[in-house]
Amino acid sequence: MKWLFPIIFVLVAIGTCITGDIPWSSLWQEALMRIAGTSQKWNALLDERVPRLLILLLCGASLATAGAVMQSLFQSPLASPSVLGVSAGGSLFAIIVLSLQWHLAYPAIWPLAAVLGCLLTLLMVYFLAMDRGQMQIPLLILSGVAVSTLLLTLQSVLLYLLRDQWQLVMTIREWEVGSTLNRSWKQFHLMAPLALVGLYGCWHYRRELDLMSLGDEEAENMGVDVRKVRWRLFLCIALLTGGVIASLGIIAFFGLVLPNLLRLIYGPRNQILIPQCMIVGSVTLAGMDLILRLMEIQWMTIGNVSAVIGGIFFMGLLFKNRYRFAWS
Amino acid sequence: MRLKMMNKSNFIVYSCTATIILGWWLFAFYATGHPLPPIPNPQVRIQIPNSTQWEQATLRDALLGDTVLMRQYLLLWDEENKLNQTAYLSPEELNRALQLCDFEASPTAHAERFFPQTFNAASFLLALVGKDQICSLPEGLRRHTDLYPDEICATIPSESNRHRAEILSQQNPKAAFVSNYSDPYTIEMLQQQGIAMIALEAENTLEAIQNGIISVGAVTDRMEKAELLTLFVKAAMLTIDHRANYVMGQRTGPVVFVYYQMGLQVPTSKSLTGYLLKRLKVDVAHNPIGWRLPMSEEKLIAASPESLVIITDDPSTTHSQLFLSPALAQLDAVKQGRFCYIANHIQHQSNQFIVLAYLDLVEALRI
């Protein structure tokens, strides 16, 4: 078990690097020439497969970690960026930028907008779910649904306004479904600083997260500055989710499924769970993309696959927890 | 004192984080870059013997029902095809078409009005009936002023009106042209108002387009003009076929046709472009559902095309975005200037403007 994920990681990395339309033999020779500085030619391995692999690793780690942190912060297995509408908020802001075409002149505006959208949504859901200073779990999910619905409606309004520009609408639709096609160093640079800062923040506060799961009062008694840590973790979630939205689009439910599965294996302690989410999340997303490529499935994106699997899992979780919600 | 210390540490944490992120982006996006390849000179083209140059605007006017222009083109193409000894309309078809041109030069007045619910129906109506006989036009159609000039569309009301049902009942159209993808509630509204509905095929084929023209002609009592338009479209396609055959014979390597919208896509067999490419005997990706399939840059490099045709409505933005990728800039087709842009919206005209879509593709093959 200890070596399982490192072995899978290596296999996925090798698989991603050798799978493609250009034969490996010529690609490798050209890559060596590029590294030696004797060629400046675009190389599919160095310029497409490697950045795509890095993006997938960072996105997988980001979504799984953001999901685990949200589930711990909100003390609900149903919390995740897509369930609470955080992805929808980031997506709406990113679509606004896309519609205005600001990203063409200033690429960094796109991830910034996505992060801002995620953060504002998260704060909105959080404050809506508070009742007399206490977080109410059923209220949290309801708030998430309400905010999500509002954001999706605003998105529909925007798309309705753009209905005559059907090519732009098509572009937005294609981007939304979470594709990994033609990812390059540009998308890597867009998301890498956000993901690295966000992942570091979550990893840094994993002990505090464990203490906060005992309740705010107990955590404060044990020296945790609850308000500061919660705010910083909110920022980290927004950075992680916004980074993924800017580089891949929407990968729904990935952040819901994986932390729940890993919690079954490694237990609820965030000190163990969060590093595991980073490792397993990255390998899983890269592995999913590799399978789609090996099976040459063109009609489905990685976002579609994640949404279908995650949707079924989400319904299972709701079914399992129905008595608890009814009681509360 | 403690609060002040905390504020200071918070400031350091947030400013360091912001500096890392912004510094990374600054370094990645503004410190590097490579020059864009120039847009190629369109003069470097395969020359077709015995061929006349057509003005797109004049051909468009003919396709919008100008019978005088139709007559000129039919005779011009007849000469061109006789010189090249290539297939054209049969003598009977040509005589019939020329007779119809003369007949249509003095059209009779009609009073009935018609409601086009689809782009294609609107396009057929614009070519066959008077402007005052068309109840409304789809809003998006007006954007393509190169195909549907303002002077024609401006006098016809827009379809996107909240009181459309009421306006329609006042206009009392004789018939509405719909398709299998029409909005079910609009169909229901038309049924309730007792407006006759004629369904037009939504297939991207020449046969479906010709059937559509004939159907609209039959309902609007403009059968002769509809017959003339179908013969004109057939004559134009046959003439372009000859040019296409010559150009394809001169080519030595593959040509790749791609759309660009935040990524590359290729037309499929279901799209109009795919249908026309099959007519040109160019391999097309098969997909019974969608009009496009995504294509990776790596696949494009592996295909190593002799020429690259990019289908977009915004060539300047596409050029600056597409060639940011060093992958495409290194293609031989790009280095040698053998790439060009053709209009996307024309490639979606499943109506008489199929002629312009086909002509654009063949002109692109000359590069």
Q: What is this model's ipTM?
A: 0.82
Rounded to the nearest 5 percent, the helix, strand and coil shares of chain A are 75, 0, 20
CB spacing of B261 vs A170 below 8 angstroms:
yes
CB atoms closer than 10 angstroms to residue B17: 19
Residue A18 touches partner B, C-beta closer than 8 Å: no
List Cα–Cα distances, A220 to A126, A212, A214, A225, A235, in angstroms: 20, 8, 10, 6, 20
- Round to whole Å and give the CA distance between A74 and B74: 74
Cα A132 from Cα A129, distance rounded (Å):
10
User: Model confidence over A162-207: pLDDT tens digits?
Assistant: 877 777 887 888 888 888 887 888 889 999 999 999 999 999 999 9
- Could you tell me which residues are beta bridge partners of residue A130? A135
The pLDDT tens digits along chain B (367 residues) read: 555 666 778 888 899 999 999 999 888 877 656 666 777 665 557 777 767 778 888 999 999 999 999 999 999 999 888 888 888 888 899 999 998 887 765 556 577 899 998 899 999 999 999 888 999 888 788 889 999 998 888 888 877 666 677 888 888 899 999 988 887 788 888 888 899 999 998 888 999 999 999 999 999 999 999 999 999 999 999 999 998 998 888 888 889 999 987 788 899 999 999 999 999 988 888 877 788 888 888 888 888 898 999 999 888 888 888 887 778 888 888 888 889 999 999 999 999 999 999 999 998 988 8
CA separation for the pair A203, A200 (Å, rounded)? 5
Residue A21 near chain B (CB below 8 Å): yes
Q: How many residues does chain B have?
A: 367
Q: Do B17 and A42 touch (CB under 8 A)?
A: no
Put simply, whether A184 touches B (Cβ < 8 Å) is yes
Chain position carrying tokens 């000469």 = B79
Distance from the first to the final alpha carbon of chain B: 75
Sheet containing strand B196-200, edge to edge, reads B114-116, B175-179, B196-200
Smallest Cβ distance to B313: which of A167, A179, A182?
A: A167
CA–CA min distance B24, chain A (Å): 7
For residue A221, what are the CA distances in angstroms to A132, A216, A225? Answer: 21, 9, 9
Contact B301 A299 (CB under 8 A): no
Query: What does the pLDDT look like over A8-24, one tens digit per residue?
Result: 999 999 999 999 888 88
Question: Would you call A44 and B327 a contact, using CB atoms and an 8 Å cutoff?
Answer: yes
Contact predicate B154/B216, CB 8 Å: no
Interface mutation vs chain B, best among A165, A167, A175, A236, most B CBs within 10 Å: A167
Measured between beta carbons, which residues in chain B are less than 8 angstroms from residue A190? Answer: 25
Taking any CB pair shorter than 8 Å as contact, residues of chain B touching chain A are 10, 17, 20-22, 24-25, 28-29, 139-140, 143, 261-264, 289-290, 293-299, 301-302, 313, 317, 320-321, 324-327, 329-330, 344
> For an interface test with A, which of B2, B7, B17 has the most A Cβ atoms less than 10 Å from its Cβ?
B17
- Which residues are CB-neighbours of A299 under 8 A, at least 6 positions away? B289, B290
> Residue with structure tokens 């090996």?
A294
CB B52 within 8 A of CB B78: no
| Alpha-carbon gap, residue B96 to B79, rounded angstroms | 17
